[in-house]
Structures are given as C-alpha cells and as structure tokens.
Amino acid sequence: MNQLVGSTTFKSNTILYLTLLCLLSFLTFCSTDAIITDQEIEATVYYFNSETGNDQNSGVSIDSPWKSLSKIDSLDLQPGDRILLAKGQEFQDPIIIKNVAGADDAPILISTYDDRTNDRSDFAFIKTQGHLNAVLVQNSSFVKIENLSISAGPIPGEVITERGNNIMRIGVKIDVSEFGVFENIKLKNLEIKDIFYENPGIDRGSSEVKTANGTQSYGWGIRVFNERSGSLLRNIVIDSVHVENVSHTGIKFTSPKYGDDFGIKQIQVSNSRVYKTGGPGIQMSGVYDGHIFGNKVDRSGSFDDSRKWGRGSGLWTWSTSNVLIEHNSFTNANGPGDSAGAHIDFNCSNIILQYNFSANNAGGFCEILGNNYNCSYRYNISVNDGHRVKGENGAFQEGKVFWLSGYNGNKPRSGPFNSYFYNNTIYVTESIQAKIAIDRMSDGILISNNIFHIEGEAKSVLGDQYNPETEGEVNTLNTVFKNNLFLHNESWPSDYPWQDDAPMFGNAAFLNLGGFSIEDYTPKNRDLIQNKGVLINTIPSDDFGLYIGLEVKQDILGNPIVGLPDLGAIEIQQ
C-alpha cells in the first residue's frame, strides 16, 4: 500500500515535472522566436537616382534605383526605412510624406547616398516648378530629413490668376490636418533658397507692404502648421539649415492658441542662417516651449526683388510662451514698419532674449508690445538699431531703440506687464536719431545695469503700431529704473516721465566702437564699469519674475560673473 502510494506520488510528481518542463520549453521557444522575429525585422532602403534610375527597377538596391520621387507615394513606410537620393543630382518631383510613423530609435530618414559616379555636392537637389510644396510632411511622426538643397517656383511663363495669402509656395512644409499627436520631426543640413510663388516682374502695389502680413501669395522657406483643433505637434527640430532668397518668411511656426493650450510645443531652431528673406527671418505663433539659438539672420525684409514683401524683423513671436532666444545675431532688417532685430509681438509671456547681437535694424532693438507678461531683454548688444525715420522712403513707423507698447490688435491698449531690461549694451552713432517710446499703459518696468552709449540726443516718441498711442495720463507705478550708464545727459530723453533714479555718466571706452562683432564692445574703462551693477530683483507687484530665473551666471561671451555684475553685456575679466 505504501509502495503503491509512493509510486503514485512519484508518477504524479513526474507528470507535473514533465508538464512544467514542456510549458517552460514552450514559453522559452515562444520567447526565443519573438526575439528572432524582432531581429529579423530589417528596415528597407529605397534608392533614387535621376540619371541612372528607372521606375521599373526594384528601387531597393543601389544598383537598381528608381528615377521618380513620385514612387514615394506608393510606399508603406515603416520605422527605420530610408529614402536615399543620389548626391549631386536634380529631382523635379516633390517629396510627399503622409500619414507615416517611424519610432524614437528608428525614424524614417530622407537623406542622400553617393552613387559612385560623382562628387559634385553633398546635397541632392529638389527643384520643383508648379508645385506648392517641394517637401511635405503631413500627419506624421519620427521623420528626419537631411542633406537636401531645395528650391521651388512657378512654371516659367505661367500666367497666374489665383492669389491670396492662403495660397503659398513652401520649401519644406510640416503640417497637421488630422486629429492626433504628431511628434519628432527633424530637419538638418538643408539648403532652402529661391522660393517664389510668382514669376519675375510682378508689381505688388505700394500698399501691400503696409498690410499686417501681406495679402498676396508668397514663397516661404520652412512652414510648420497645426491648425487642427485638439491636435498636438511637438518636438520639432530645425538645425543647421540655410534659408536664402524667399519672398516672405524664412522659418515660421503657426498654430492657434486654444485657451491656455497650444497646438505646437517643444521647438528648436539652431545653428542656422537665414538671409535675404522678403519677410521676417524667423517667426512663431501659438508655440509653447522653444529654444532658438546659434542662428544668424541677415537682411530680413529684403526688397531686392519685386516679388518680396519688403518688411520683417529678424525674429518675432506672437501668442507664444516660454521661449528662450539666445546667442543669435540679427542684422540689417529692413522695412517701413516693424523690422526690428527681434521683437515680442502681443499676447506673449515668458519670452527671454539674451546673449544676442543686434545691428543696423531699421525698426530697432527692444520691442515689447501689449498684453505681454514677464518678458526680458538681457545681456544683448545693440549697434545702430532703430535708424528708420517716419515719413522717409515710405516709412510709416519710427525706428526705436527701446519700445514698450500697449498695442494688442483692435482691443484697448494693455501693458506690457513686468518687462525686464538689464545689462544690455546699446550703441547709437551721432548720425542716427535715437528714439525711445514707452506706452503710458506699461505696468511693471525694470531698466538697470545697461550702457546707453548714445552719441547724439535721444528723443521720446509716441508708439505708432497701426493704432497710434494718444496723449494721456502716464502710469509709472511698479517701475524700477536705476543704475544705468549714459554717455551724457542727452543719451536719454530729459522730458520723459521715466527717469533713472541713480544714473551714471561717462564713456565705457569700447574696444572698437562701430565694429560688427561682440568683442568690439568690450569696455576698457574698468573703473567705470566693473562691479558697478546692482543685483536684479523682481519688479514690485510681480510674484513671478522670469521663468528661468533673474540671476545670470555668465555674460554674452561666456565669461563668469564674479561678485556684483558689471555694467552692460560684457564682464570685464580680472
């Protein structure tokens, strides 16, 4: 009996053991199979060669490339897939990427390859005629585009009858038209130039440049759109691109702001050059959380072609929040209105401009418009900004080296609120009339530790953004205006209600006055400059300050700030 029980127990244990062993082997087999399957999934590489390609080829071998980029429409793109264009070759079809998704570690890549027959360029050339978009990425995520030279225009000789500011030709368009979250689009090492909607010779009319953003059709460099309510476009990186000779804006982000939410979040524009744009260089509307750094914007608002708008700041923001703009240069902006180096248009908050070089911009240096909260210019250098004179050469707006305006569209004037302006270096030569405008509705102003090296007589003017400011009672509450260095008594308007409570006077003795580099504005007058700054605290009634903090650890050149800050943007070294 005991033997039978023992035998039965043994058999039961054996069966259980074998069952568990089989189950474990099955699970191990399934797991191993899954791993093998994952490893066997390989991305597909598609080759395009406009000279040796044939659309009857397989397209998946360097020796059997396709010819036409229209083949992209038929592809079922998967994470890690690559679309490679032969270097140095020209393609006339647009690149259209719609409703595709790569992965974080396996983006869909559009780039180039060496076709072994030439070394003419590191780029492949997209030159489209008659298409509205040379490159379109729509409703897609995890896409990277690099190493392309892009131009777009009308068909030569085409008679264009359909026009309007909602019809545009774009070098690279990133677009959201469906509901969802779309993310991680990167543009790198692109050349985008010669983007025009019209053929040469069109006469826009003299009033066109006076409209807010233009009413006709233009060419744009890069446009990032999200106009689908409830959708989100995020993590957009534009790095090391060159935009040149487009009839309107070089790089532009556009999304409505839905209450307290934004349609575009987390953007980066870096290490890029934007040159001779007919409109602004860089512009963003409805954006939250951005970093704009290392860019050079020159000759925005260009009018060297009648197809260009002829007006535009180097950079400006509207209905945008939490953006840091640093280590850029904004030079030679042109236009009868606006056209500052970089300005903060209305309905913004937490926009900080620091460590930028601004020079020869017709509209001016500092411009903060209405309904803006807690914005700042700090540790920047401005050279001969605001030289435009109202009434001359069609100008309908004064150039201003410093401007706070309550203008915010068709609404009553309001603000700006809590504007911080400190440790900037401003130089204006004697031949330029330096003009200052502070709206009487401004509430919360801090102006400290700046160098106002204005050789001539500074003049106060009324703000004149479309609805000119009128005379009236001035609000000087919550103002901290102290501890600035002026070249002489006339370097700030003496008739202004806003006056420095503790001014200093003297010559900073810059290294190379009138030069065009940051180092040129290194002060040599150590006794006048060194440790003469004051610590920056929040404006009375402001409980917030700046979103990245008021304290600055280094100057515009990266020199550490030791002890009390020096005056201006450059810390004198020991």
Please give the full DSSP string across 75-94, using - where no structure is assigned.
Answer: ----TT-EEEEETT-EE-SP
> In 10 A of CB 299, how many CB atoms?
22
Strands 143-153 and 108-113 turn out to be: parallel
What is the reported pLDDT for 397? 93
pLDDT single digits (tens) 320-362: 999 999 999 999 999 999 999 999 999 999 999 999 999 999 9
The DSSP element (H or E) to which 527 belongs, if any, is helix 526-529
DSSP H helices, 1-121, are 2-40
- 3-state secondary structure at position 243: strand
What is the reported pLDDT for 382? 98
What is the reported pLDDT for 25? 36
Distance CA 465, CA 156 (A): 39
Q: Where are the domains of the chain?
A: 345-574
pLDDT single digits (tens) 165-195: 999 999 999 999 999 999 999 999 999 999 9
Q: Taking a C-beta distance cutoff of 8 angstroms, is the pair 565, 420 a contact?
A: no
| DSSP-assigned letters across all residues of 360-372 | S-SSEEEEE-TT-
Query: Going along 299-434, which residue ranges are E strands?
Result: 315-318, 321-326, 329-331, 342-344, 349-354, 357-359, 364-368, 373-378, 381-383, 400-404, 417-422, 425-428
Torsion angle, CA of 315/319/322/324, rounded to 10 degrees?
A: 0
- Here the tokens at position 345 are 């248009």
What is the reported pLDDT for 256? 83
- The DSSP symbol for 460 reads E
pLDDT of the chain along its 574 residues, tens only?
Answer: 333 333 333 333 433 333 433 333 333 333 333 333 333 448 999 999 999 999 999 999 999 999 999 999 999 999 999 999 999 999 999 999 999 999 999 999 999 999 866 666 889 999 999 999 999 999 999 999 999 999 999 999 998 989 999 999 999 999 999 999 999 999 999 999 999 999 999 988 889 999 989 999 999 999 999 989 899 999 999 999 999 999 999 999 999 877 778 999 999 999 999 999 999 999 999 999 999 999 999 999 999 999 999 999 999 999 999 999 999 999 999 999 999 999 999 999 999 999 999 999 999 999 999 999 999 999 999 999 999 999 999 999 999 999 999 999 888 889 999 999 999 999 999 999 999 999 988 999 999 999 999 999 999 998 776 666 666 677 767 999 999 999 999 999 998 899 999 999 999 999 999 999 999 999 999 999 999 999 999 999 999 999 999 999 999 999 999 999 999 999 998 7
Distance CA 198, CA 196 (A): 6
